[in-house]
Structure 1
Amino acid sequence: MNAFHQTRDNTDSLEQMLSMLLDGAVEVLDISPDLHDTAVRRYKEVGAWLAENGSPGWEIHSQGSFLLGTVVRPGTESGEYDIDLVCRLPLKQESTSKEGLKQRVGDQLVAYRGWKQRQGHTDGPDSLEARRRCWTLGYPGFHLDVLPAIPDEDHPPTGILLTDKNLHKWQHSNPLGYADWFRKRSEQSRALLEKLHANVAEVPEHHIRSTLQRLVQILKWHCMLFFAEDTDNRPPSILLTTLAGRAYRGEDDLFTAVRNVLAAMARLIENREGQWWVPNPAHEEENFTDKWNEYPERRRKFLSWFDEISTTMDGLSLMESKGLDVVYSRLVKSFEAGPMMRSYERYAAREKASTVQRMSPTGLLSATAVGPRRKPNTFYGQHPGPRG
């Protein structure tokens, strides 16, 4: 069902109402276009410094939710966005150690921060910290996690090896290959291709969100709230993203897509000779549920979350003719009240404006009331006003 198709009484269907409410709420949690562009400028400058001052061939690019367009603001309104970057050095595995690689990148980041401070630049990082797998540069509103990496010669051309001070072996990854897979899954939506074709000149492509990107953000948001007091057992975002991407079948209506994906997700978790397994589509040897085999409690917690969100969506699907206020009241029981309120207010204002526009000077509905009423194009991912 197309999200913009109207029912005969010229009101939104329940699925449309829920899609718009969920989309509007998760849009509030999305990184704003301005902050997105600021983060890109910062990491491009860091990348240019590393390329010019490190050895020849150093490269930096984004990875994870920032690259996929599925960023969700963490926890609270003041929470910082986490942006992952890869710093790839053209070294062979036998020519360096994990510790040596991390230190080489760290030394250059220390030098970069010092140079910014000596030049009196106010846009440099506020902090620089060594963490388990990366170096973290802190900025107002976000931080950049820079992961040192080298090429994975067994998985060319985009496979990489990452450091981890808590693990003996190099860690395999392929963020560019994964992003290419996720992009192709997103492009199953005909509506996305139409938006990109019509709007990319007016709105940058990375500010337009597909149905798949939005539904991943909804799953991540609900999961973050569910595990707010139990972050150690929270499923990794890459697991939710992979299951959603594999289950997605090109639906344009957001609520319908979420329900269909949830209905299919459990069947995509394999049991290979007693080992739970969800393979990385860009690196089949990597298992995104490997920790379940080591810590069975994590699988049980995942299933508890999965049952909770599935029950919530099934319950919402039964609220036909309940009205906006009742639907909203049910949504805020499972999702964060602030973003849902923003979306509710925008939706209610849209409905009021539409009704006013269809009234004649006599106060009666005009002839246009019998025609289709379209949802204004808000260009997925754009923010209508400042947060507060």
Structure 2
Amino acid sequence: MLTTEQRDQFSEIFDELGKSLDISKTDYDKAVTSYRYVGGWLAEKDSPLAPYSPVISPQGSFLLGTMIQPVTEGDHLDIDLVCKLVGKRSYWTQYDLKHAIGDRLKAHGTFNRMLRRKEGRRCWTLEYAEEANFHMDILPSIVGHGFQILLEKAANRKMEDMTPLAIRITDKELQNYKTATDPLEWLVSNMFGYAVWFEERCRLAIIKAVNFSESIKPVPTYQVRKTPLQRIVQILKRHRDIMFNGDEDKPISIIITTLAAHAYKKQTNILVGLQEVMAEMEQYIEDRYDPVTGQYYKWIGNPVNKQENFADKWLTFPQRKDNFYKWLQAVKRDIAYVTEQRSLPTIQETLNRSFGKKIITQTFSNLASMQRERREAGVLKMAASTGILGATGRTSLGNHTFFGSEE
């Protein structure tokens, strides 16, 4: 059983791990500058798309503030974007909309060279040079007039029903991809409604949550301070990435994020929140029965679209379901083992195996710098029962110039 001091110190370690997982402000600013330029090209007054007021906005983990660095150095960040057009030509199908945006990208010499030649199921992908460290997936979509006003109302918590924030997107695997001209027959997505829901789950009275009113802008502000839920999601995703090492059947981020957000009960201590989230995530997976097929299946509902099942691929790809449960047991076991350790060197060594040596080395280097600053300021304390150094123990330590094995 951990003491309050131990829980606080482990919470600080996991918070610093989350900070180490964050993408840098430099990479963030590069991505924002790049997609602003793409959006400007799509919306130029001589662009065929100009009458439909195209706007590019972030979605996914870039919007939620839960993006993490890739495991392998040199791997690109995946920046998920949505291109919103207000209306369309009456005869446009999903195919026409998608290729109207693709053709405009191809009309720019640089973007044409950057476009991935294999067309994605839903997106166009721009592959930037190695030094840029990212690629962009641009999802074509249709919104109605007044959509931005609805977004602003949602951001200011003047809407309870997120259904009006749903947009229509393209999907080349649908049978009506080249035939349906009515957007009401197209696939529905509600990434902005989901972001409002996630912000609500993050919100604490003492910590500012995801600034959705900033996030919905084409140029969102880089978020330095994260809420405990954002850190918990980052930590869970990193453990997943290390465990599955690029396996396409790994648990998908939207499932981890949704279950974690459901299970989160506004804990301010990251360790306590992480432990309780892991313990309760499974409770939000429903067992349902299909009388037509006679099959039982798992249901993880989209909180803003009750008809969407994030686990819909588990029946077709049962390995994905098995991998989710294997991962959940593994992360519970690994975090429990970490909290059994009672010195910084053994804690660091234990974390290396679950989260990667490089990122943990960075985490503990940052912690050592914080300890040095606290010691010099005379506020460094040691937990009497563990010897772990931090700002929350009971025994104050005098100024010193080195940390020995604790560094």
TM-score bracket, shorter-length normalisation: 0.7 to 0.9
Mean Cα displacement is larger for which, 46-55 or 277-286? 46-55
Alignment of 1:131 with 2:131, yes or no, is: no
Mean Cα displacement is larger for which, 175-184 or 31-40? 31-40
Alignment of 1:262 with 2:251, yes or no, is: no
Task: Give the gaps of 5 or more residues in structure 2.
Answer: 146-161, 177-185, 212-220, 290-295, 380-392, 398-407
* Alpha-carbon distance, 1:246 to partner: 1.0
Partner of 1:378: none
Specify the SS of the correspondent of 1:333. helix
Alignment of 1:315 with 2:337, yes or no, is: yes
The number of residue pairs the alignment matches comes to 334
Partner of 1:206: 223
State how far apart, in whole Å, the 2-side matches of 1:195 and 1:186 are.
7
Matched ranges for 1:10-49 at <5 A: 13-49=5-41
Q: 1:266 to 1:370 in 2, by over 3 A?
A: closer
- The percentage of aligned residue pairs carrying the same residue is 35
* Alpha-carbon distance, 1:194 to partner: 9.3
Alignment of 1:56 with 2:54, yes or no, is: no
State how far apart, in whole Å, the 1-side matches of 2:312 and 2:135 are.
28
Specify the SS of the correspondent of 1:233. coil
Partner of 1:303: 325
Q: 1:370 to 1:275 in 2, by over 3 A?
A: closer
State how far apart, in whole Å, the 2-side matches of 1:335 and 1:306 are.
15
* Alpha-carbon distance, 1:301 to partner: 1.0
Q: 1:71 aligns with which of 67, 73, 78?
A: 67
Q: 2:233 aligns with which of 216, 224, 232?
A: 216
Kindly report the root-mean-square deviation, in angstroms, between the aligned alpha carbons of the 2 structures.
Answer: 2.9
State how far apart, in whole Å, the 2-side matches of 1:18 and 1:78 are.
30
8 A contact 1:106–1:135 mirrored in 2: yes
State how far apart, in whole Å, the 2-side matches of 1:370 and 1:72 are.
34
State how far apart, in whole Å, the 2-side matches of 1:70 and 1:98 are.
30
Matched ranges for 1:224-373 at <5 A: 224-229=241-246, 231-273=247-289, 274-319=296-341, 322-358=342-378
Specify the SS of the correspondent of 2:355. coil
TM-score by length of 2: 0.75
8 A contact 2:202–2:209 mirrored in 1: no
Partner of 1:161: 168
Larger RCO, structures 1/2 (Cα 8 Å, 6+ apart): 1
Mean Cα displacement is larger for which, 302-311 or 350-359? 350-359
State how far apart, in whole Å, the 1-side matches of 2:209 and 2:139 are.
36
Q: 1:256 to 1:370 in 2, by over 3 A?
A: closer
Specify the SS of the correspondent of 1:192. coil
State how far apart, in whole Å, the 2-side matches of 1:268 and 1:131 are.
31
* Alpha-carbon distance, 1:38 to partner: 2.2
* Alpha-carbon distance, 1:74 to partner: 1.9
State how far apart, in whole Å, the 1-side matches of 2:75 and 2:9 are.
29
Deviations along 1:57-79, one digit per CA (max 9) or x if unpaired, are 22321110101111112221222
Q: 1:160 to 1:327 in 2, by over 3 A?
A: same
Partner of 1:199: none
